[in-house]
Chain A
């Protein structure tokens, strides 16, 4: 051993020549270390990583679910608000239409009433005028005959003849007046 070492030193040993024992120790050490890593260290770390990823992703999923729920509720409230507004508008519209209908009905009724009253008044006025005409005609005839008999004597006292004369006179009068009106 000592001789070999001295010989090596004297020759200036080649630094590239390996020492087989050192090589073996390194290889065995590496393999042992790798066994420990593969068996214990790596599974533990990988498991922790996986669990952590799961925890984070689970948390994110939970938050997303809550967010979705909140959004759904918001949509629902908005929907309900829109529905309520539509309903209110519809009711207001209906009330307005109903009011207009009522107003129109009342107006129509009032117009009908006034027309009826006017009609009635016309009829009454016509009737009164007819009555007046009839009574006037009788009175005028009587007055005229009385006046004529006073003027021409008693000969005109015969009722039938005198009324014929009066009727003819009045007819002539109407004809001439209507002709004048036509002209």
Chain B
């Protein structure tokens, strides 16, 4: 954490690297400053993008599913493919059974919500993956944490906690070690990693792109011909990083949804594990 807070200035008039603070813009509609650090906020770009993503996703799928036809048009086909992908290759394949459809809205919404919000980071001018702010990542991971714990309790009752942390067929002296490990891994590490994985990859990618951008700007502005020449290399490197970041944005949306499905499946079939 200390290392992440990059030094604000290298030399007196040299390159000033952007810090994490530079990824937070929150001055569109400031409010709430009096509630302290946690609640210190205004209506910022990040929230605007989150709302925009909800509107975009809802609009796209509502239009795509509005005129249902046996032989789909291009838009309907696109919508159906997207829906079918989450429904079948995540919902059906991971959760399976007869009632996997009940959890498809969760998975479907998670996948496209995370995907679109991540891709905002790759779109010029928007250029902010909303999950690079920890609040968003915690929020969505918490929703899924409560979902799968709720599923486990509903399905197995209070016995669910025993099923989740006490593996069957293990001698008691090993249980002394295994049970604390299982408690920590299932109920603490799991939701934390679920959120941090998404948050950290988005933040890192966003920082790299920001860093490269400001470095290029600085090098070009110096008026030093050598630095200006070298900036081409940074540009090429930053394009490669941009491509990698775009890949990771899609991949993290998939990973997040896949893990959510695996956790739901684990809660549903806690007695079989």
Contact = CB atoms under 8 A, between A and B. Distances in A.
Interface of A: 1, 4-5, 8-9, 12-27, 29-34, 36-38, 40-42, 44-49, 51-52, 55
Contact of B54 (A8, A21, A33, A46): A33
Interface of B: 1-2, 4-5, 19-21, 30, 32-33, 37-44, 46-47, 50-51, 53-54, 57-58, 61-62, 65-66, 68-70, 72, 76, 79-80, 83-84, 87, 101, 104-106, 108-110, 112-113, 130, 133-136, 138-140, 142-143, 203
A36 B61 CA distance: 9
B178 to A, nearest CB: 29
Nearest to A19: B135
A12 B106 contact: no
Contact of B134 (A18, A37, A41, A51): A18
A24 B5 contact: no
Contacts of A30: 109-110, 113, 139-140, 143
A113 B20 CA distance: 137
Given A33-B54, A34-B106, A17 B134 contact: yes
Most buried by A among B19, B53, B58: B58
Given A22-B133, A23-B136, A42-B104, A15 B83 contact: no
Contact of A21 (B19, B39, B61, B134): B39
A33 B115 CA distance: 13
A14 B1 contact: yes
Does more than half of chain B's interface fall in helix, strand or loop, or is it mixed?
A: helix
B136 A26 contact: yes
Does more than half of chain A's interface fall in helix, strand or loop, or is it mixed?
A: helix
Contact of A29 (B53, B69, B87): B53
Nearest to B62: A40
B133 to A, nearest CB: 5
Contacts of A23: 135-136, 138-139
B58 A19 contact: no
A38 B42 CA distance: 31
A40 B65 contact: yes
A49 B130 CA distance: 33
Given A22-B136, A37-B105, A45-B79, 15 more contacts: A1-B42, A13-B5, A13-B21, A15-B5, A15-B20, A15-B134, A16-B1, A17-B37, A20-B39, A21-B43, A22-B44, A26-B130, A37-B61, A45-B87, A49-B80
B37 A15 contact: no
B37 A4 contact: yes
Given A26-B139, A41-B83, A48 B109 contact: no
B135 A26 contact: yes
A29 B50 contact: yes
B53 to A, nearest CB: 7
Contacts of A47: 68
